[in-house]
Structure 1
Amino acid sequence: MTYLQSVIKGIDAINRLLRYFAALLLMGMSAIIVYQVIVRFLTKYADIELPRWTEELARYLMIWLVFIGASLAVRYSALIGVEAISERLSKNLQKTLKILVLILSMFFFVIMIVYGFEMLGHVSAQLSPGMKLPMSIPYASVPAGGFFMLLNSTAVLLETLQGEAKRDFFKGAE
């Protein structure tokens, strides 16, 4: 196994953990939303105030889920894209275009990380209205998502340069 293959294998190990984390986020968000619906139904005619934290926590979990899911989608080429132009190109030009798009994407992910950390500095003193949670926790999803997208773009770039095929999201990394 070459060094590049071991790097890709390490990134895939991180992605296995991210998949479990995304599943936990989805389960937690779903449970909170079901709880909120039940409480709304039971208190429909009562003069009881609904818990505010449920909507807020579900929103923050969804934000984290979107960034983690997007990073996994980058790895498995599951993001939506327009391939009308690339399909008309030769195989060599398709590979060159894919490499160019990956490098541009990686540049964008670096910007996400840098400005995400800058944004954390601005919101670190703020508290969320319902749970009094530091706003740096939901906003940390931006640089974390950017980091994982950069990591997965690196794996896709290495595989593209080596000439390996795309991986299937549902099969996972072998």
Structure 2
Amino acid sequence: MWLMVFAVVWQVFTRFVINSPSVFTDELSRYLMMWVGILGGAYVYALKRHLAIEILSEKVNPRQQLVLNIVISGFVILFSAIVLLYGGVHVVTTTLEYNQVSPSLSLFGNNIPMGYIYMVAPISGAFIVMCAIADILNAITALKNK
């Protein structure tokens, strides 16, 4: 996050103070924002702080809440597996296969392949799937103990 803040501050400084805008900071801050947002969503899901509509879960008993959590976690796994894992892996492999590179970001003189930048989708998708599986297992254990 600090790197993103530094990139934006540097961009503003070079654009308005030096009158010679930096070439890479705009793109760097955009890609960092993508990583922070997508990984942040996975992290917040793991903490059980993600956006939730609790109208139904407030009206059912604790046992039914556990069953509802299993169903919701199943939908989360389905979405994450299809969109983030499958779609993310497809985007990463396609961009790496076609050698799509970042136009202005380079590392040691070599442009960075966009597949590495898009790698955030399958990484966060895998993390969300693992957390949802853990939620299902915890709910099943709690159901057996009741």
Q: TM-score, normalised by structure 2?
A: 0.84
Aligned residue for 1:130, secondary structure, equals strand
8 Å CA contact 2:4, 2:33 repeated in 1:
yes
- How do residues 138-157 of structure 1 correspond to structure 2 at under 5 angstroms? 138-157=117-136
Distance in 1 (CA, whole Å) between partners of 2:134 and 2:7 is: 35
Distance in 1 (alpha carbons) for counterparts of 2:115 and 2:58: 42
**More deviation, 73-82/124-133:** 124-133
Structure 2, gaps ≥5 residues long: 106-110
Picking from 92, 102, 118, the partner of 2:90 is 118
What is the CA distance between 1:157 and its match in structure 2?
2.3
Letter in 1 for 2:136: L
Q: Which has the higher strand share?
A: 2
Comparing 73-82 and 115-124, the one that deviates more: 115-124
Contact 1:52–1:130 (8 Å) recurs in 2: yes
Counting aligned pairs with the same residue, the percent is: 26
Give the structure, 1 or 2, with the largest relative contact order (CA under 8 Å, sep 6 or more).
1
Q: Which residue of 2 aligns with 1:4?
A: none
**Count of residues in correspondence between the two structures:** 135
Give the RMSD, CA atoms, in angstroms: 1.7
Q: Partner of 2:113 in structure 1? A: 134
Unaligned runs of 5+ in 1: 1-25, 164-174
Indicate conservation of the 8 Å contact 1:75/1:155, yes or no: no
Q: Distance in 2 between matches of 1:32 and 1:70?
A: 22
Runs of 4+ in 1 over 4 A off after TM superposition: none
Answer yes or no: is 1:71 the counterpart of 2:42.
yes
SS in 2 for 1:129: strand
